[in-house]
């Protein structure tokens, strides 16, 4: 097999960020941090992907210091001496292997249910006490709650910089807290944080501004956002390029350097009349670097569950189209998820033309960390 993979392996530079190539490991929740502390197994997990040549690793979602930030068992925290010491080991290991790394800073919002660690009595917190349109869960946030969460993100970003992370990613996608403010279906507030798109943006804009103030002018801030939600795959924040511009430009002004546009399949067009995907439209509108993601390298379809043969794996994983889109400068970076979860050497095997040696993703891989 011979493919021109040139754009994947071009160096990338923006603000203070310098990457050896344009391939990132997508953030993936792994549930292997008991006590919310990343241990040596987590260190080894990230080290292996850096040793496999990945340019940028984005950690699994790691929770900020708010009592309702967590919604899942055994996910790592990004606060407290023990957890931060664990993350320092991760940073050092990735750097030693030649990679760069961002933590994904996370608050799950109304996804949290009572009974979840660390304090089982704490409910979910969200803009209107809604998990999905018409589906109540937890409590609606007061303005004091909003300021507490903004401070928690700013503190986490400051800690990331102090630990030596190369930047931060703010998780604003998939129906978690930031996205719940953006999504009209879950934001039914009647104050300045609800109503119009500009008002629904206010919380995220203020959060980005606080993070920017905490880390200074040149430290990279990436925002992950999505149209789809885990609560509703068909949900949309913007139905036209004009609406997307109204969504994105205030975030640029607030301090976002890179947009990570999360889609389920990177090759699908975002709006009628153009082949550009969400990352492509984001780059066109903002002029900022963008990262695309969505089923890169998979032999199993995200939705249908159908499989390709191993021989067809690389061809059907869309690598040719990915390279073409990157050659056209539709987007600048690409995040790879389950393909790298399965095979830490996915990228180097691809580069060396060893497609037959790539291990196709298997769901049983989710049950172990290696």
CB 204 within 8 A of CB 259: no
Question: For the residues of 50-71, what is the DSSP string, one character each?
Answer: HHTT-SEEEEEEEE-SSTT---
For 35, the 3-state DSSP assignment is helix
Number of Cβ within a 10 Å radius of residue 305 = 8
Tokens of 182: 């953006």
Which residues, 6+ apart, have CB-to-CB distance to 165 below 8 Å? 87, 91, 101, 102, 103
Paired sense of beta strands 130-132 and 135-136, if any: antiparallel
- d(CA 298, CA 313) in angstroms, rounded, equals 7
Q: What are the φ and ψ backbone dihedral angles of 46, each rounded to 5 degrees?
A: -75, -35
Tokens of 117: 């660690």
The alpha carbon dihedral of 209, 210, 215, 220 has a sign of negative
The residues annotated as belonging to the active site are: 176
What stretch of H or E contains 259? strand 258-262
Query: Residue 277: how many CA atoms within 13 Å on its side-chain side?
Result: 26
Question: For the residues of 113-179, what is the DSSP string, one character each?
Answer: -TT-SS-TT---EESSSEEETTEE-SEEPPHHHHHHHHHHHHHHHHHHHHHT-S-EEEEEEETSHHH
Tokens of 59: 């950690």
CB 17 within 8 A of CB 166: yes
């Amino acid at each position: 097999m011979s493919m021109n993979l040139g754009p994947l392996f071009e160096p990338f530079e923006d603000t203070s960020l310098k990457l050896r190539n344009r391939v990132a490991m997508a953030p993936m929740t792994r549930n292997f941090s008991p006590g919310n502390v990343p241990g040596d197994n987590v260190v080894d997990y990230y080290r292996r992907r850096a040793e496999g040549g990945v340019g940028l690793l984005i950690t699994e979602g790691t929770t900020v210091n708010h009592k309702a930030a967590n919604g899942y068992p055994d996910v790592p925290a990004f606060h407290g001496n023990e957890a931060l010491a664990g993350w320092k080991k991760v940073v050092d290991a990735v750097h030693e292997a030649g990679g760069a790394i961002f933590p994904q800073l996370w608050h799950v919002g109304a996804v949290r249910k009572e009974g979840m660690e660390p304090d089982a009595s704490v409910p979910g917190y969200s803009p209107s006490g809604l998990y999905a349109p018409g589906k109540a869960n937890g409590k609606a946030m007061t303005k004091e709650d909003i300021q507490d969460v903004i401070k928690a993100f700013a503190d986490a970003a400051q800690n990331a910089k102090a630990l030596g992370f190369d930047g931060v990613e703010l998780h604003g996608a998939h129906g978690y807290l930031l996205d719940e403010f953006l999504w009209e279906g879950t934001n039914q507030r009647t104050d300045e944080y609800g109503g119009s798109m500009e008002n629904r943006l206010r919380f995220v804009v203020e959060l980005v501004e606080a993070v920017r103030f905490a880390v200074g002018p040149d430290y990279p801030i990436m925002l992950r956002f999505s149209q789809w939600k885990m609560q509703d795959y068909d949900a949309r924040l913007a139905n036209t390029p004009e609406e997307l511009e109204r969504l994105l430009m205030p975030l640029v002004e607030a301090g976002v350097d890179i947009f990570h546009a999360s889609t389920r399949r990177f090759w699908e067009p975002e709006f009628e009349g153009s082949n550009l995907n969400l990352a492509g439209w984001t780059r066109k509108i903002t002029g900022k670097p963008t990262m695309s993601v969505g089923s890169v390298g998979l032999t199993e379809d995200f939705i249908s569950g159908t499989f390709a043969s191993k021989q067809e794996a690389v061809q059907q994983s869309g690598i040719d189209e990915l390279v073409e889109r990157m050659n056209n400068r539709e987007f600048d970076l690409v995040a790879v998820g389950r393909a790298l979860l399965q095979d830490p050497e996915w990228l180097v095997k691809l580069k060396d033309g060893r497609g037959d040696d790539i291990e196709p993703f298997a769901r049983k891989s989710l049950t172990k960390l290696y």
